[in-house]
Chains A and B, each alone.
Chain A
Amino acid sequence: MRRTIFYLLIILLALYCAGPLLWQFITSLKLDTELTKLPPILPKAPTMDNYIAIFKENPFLRIILNSAIVAASTTTLSLILGSLCAFGLAKLRIGYKGLILGFILSVSMFPPIATVSPLYLIIRALGLRDTLFALIITYTTFSLPLAIWVLTNFFREIPDEIYLAARVDGCTPLQVFYKIMLPLAAPGIFATAILVFIFSWNEFLFALTFTSTVASRTIPVGIALFPGLHEVPWGDIAAASVVVTIPLIILIFVFQKRIIEGLTAGSIRG
């Protein structure tokens, strides 16, 4: 009896979490005429029309490509800068370490809306409006605190003796960093990479403000401003939502352990 109730609750929970996405998937398979009829819940004749439409009539592919470039560059850049900084904080003697960590933590609490107006003016003045570069630099900065925080915790778990032994053997700190520390902290780097990638794939406020054409439009802005001639094209939006969510769903199903590790290292141990 107890077991039955437990599994019932588990099924309910699974439905609650996955249900809305499932409904979006079902919607994406319906023709426009079927969308305005309920019941039936399932489409009589599932169709791929919506999927074909978003790639044919919209610059959707370009938007996905933009997002991929921005997310990949942001991830690479913040991993390089973040791991260097985290290694320094975890293993080297640096003055004002507490102050630096406090500064980094307080930056992570900045509300994006507080910096969006000056950043917009700066980017406009530099002629960087509507470029992917503007987004990459902004995202890298805003994901740095998370990257540094998570990675510092991972580097701290590597014993100091390993660092000292390598130094005695004649490695420079930089050599210790990339020859020994980076491979040892690989799980942490990987966890950080996933978190930063998801953050930059999903960010909306800066993307909405800094971009004006499809040249640099990213997925969230593309979906929010989905073009509709007369009414909201729910079928197309559903198809687009499913397409851009699939990479993330694959990520969480394959790497859920790493993601959970990263999230908890980023907040609890800190």
Chain B
Amino acid sequence: MRDGERGRWFVMPSLILLSIVTIYPLIYVLYLSLQRRLLIFDVSRFIGIDNYLFLFRDDRFLNAFKNTLYFTVLSVTLELLLGLSIAILLNRSFRMKGLMRAIVLIPWAIPTVVSAKMWEWIYNTDFGILNYLLGVKINWLGSPFWAINAAVFMDVWKTTPFVVILLTAGLQVIPKDLYQAARVDGAGRWDIFTRIVLPLLKPVILVVLIFRTLDAFRVFDAIYVLTGGGPANTTETLSIYAYKVLFQTLQFGYGSTLAVVVFLCTGGISIFYIRLLSKGVRL
């Protein structure tokens, strides 16, 4: 037997499991999305693309879409800026650097649900530490303006460590003599940052953006536990809306349509970034 034939036996188990648990359900969800299916009444009828047409008339869908976009753009931007600052701050030798890196990892390791409960308590209007420290009495999770921003702030806290780790790895690859050469040539700190660090960091930044944008766009547990989508649906994202339609009203047809929309959007985002990434490598 040639090695190539044996090779198949090594990869087969994984590929079979992946196909059964992801590809088959994906085909199934597309099929469900073309149906009117109500789990409680045992209704199950093929209605073609009616569910998709209904999307455009569904204000709650448009609202969820808008919320998801707002959440994604704002949180990913803030995470990148903050993550970059922290990575640069930590990219030098100092005592207890190892300890510091472990501390930075804390938010990343905490279960999202625990972090949401934690922040819900921090945001508490009457007894929350945030209002106490700021000396104000804001109803963070109860006001339509603050709630979505409070969710963004929590997400930034939770996921910046991931950005820091990847960017730190990227910074370490940049040769030290490059900085020195630039300094000898009379380049200032800002010049070094914009002309050397940023261009060399670009591929890593793109990778960070792929992971973070996809994660933010499909956000579910963080916001679902923090606000449940409220107040007045102002923090309801696409995944939360899809989940509620699926498992609270048991409309498996339309809920699947919403799930397909999330899938198509993340697919589009991945293709966009991967194009960008492969172009950057060729340059």
Q: How far is the CB of A42 from chain B (nearest CB, A)?
A: 12
Name A111's contact: one of B106, B132, B266 (CB within 8 Å): B266
Q: Report the Cα distance A161→B115, complex, angstroms.
A: 47
Q: Is A140 an interface residue (CB 8 A)?
A: yes
Q: Chain A residue with minimal CB distance to B115?
A: A20
With A10-B100, A264-B165 given, is the CB distance from A113 to B21 under 8 Å? no
Q: Report the Cα distance A16→B164, complex, angstroms.
A: 14
Name A20's contact: one of B119, B165, B221 (CB within 8 Å): B119
Q: Is B190 an interface residue (CB 8 A)?
A: no
Q: How far is the CB of B94 from chain A (nearest CB, A)?
A: 7
Q: What chain A residues lie within 8 Å of B270 (beta carbons)?
A: 106, 109
Q: Report the Cα distance A113→B3, complex, angstroms.
A: 39
With A144-B17, A267-B207 given, is the CB distance from A36 to B126 under 8 Å? yes
Q: Chain B residue with minimal CB distance to A220?
A: B113
Q: Is A259 an interface residue (CB 8 A)?
A: yes
Which residue, B13, B28, B121, has most C-beta atoms of chain A within 10 A? Answer: B121
Q: Is A31 an interface residue (CB 8 A)?
A: no
Q: Are B112 and A111 in contact (CB under 8 A)?
A: no
With A38-B132, A109-B267, A117-B259 given, is the CB distance from A204 to B11 under 8 Å? no
Interface residue count for A (Cβ, 8 Å)?
A: 94
What residues of chain B have their CB less than 8 Å away from a CB belonging to chain A?
2-4, 6-11, 13-15, 17-18, 20-22, 24-26, 28-29, 32, 86, 89, 94, 98, 100-119, 121-122, 124, 126-127, 129, 132, 157, 161-162, 165-166, 168-170, 204, 207, 211, 214, 217-218, 220-221, 224-225, 238-239, 242-243, 246-247, 252, 255-256, 259-260, 262-263, 266-267, 270
What residues of chain A have their CB less than 8 Å away from a CB belonging to chain B?
6-7, 9-10, 13-14, 16-18, 20-21, 23-24, 27, 35-39, 41, 81-82, 84-85, 87-89, 92-95, 100, 103-104, 106-107, 109-122, 137-138, 140-142, 144-145, 148, 167, 172-174, 177, 198, 201-202, 204-205, 209, 219-221, 223-224, 226, 234, 237-238, 241, 244-245, 248-249, 251-253, 256-257, 259-260, 263-264, 267-268
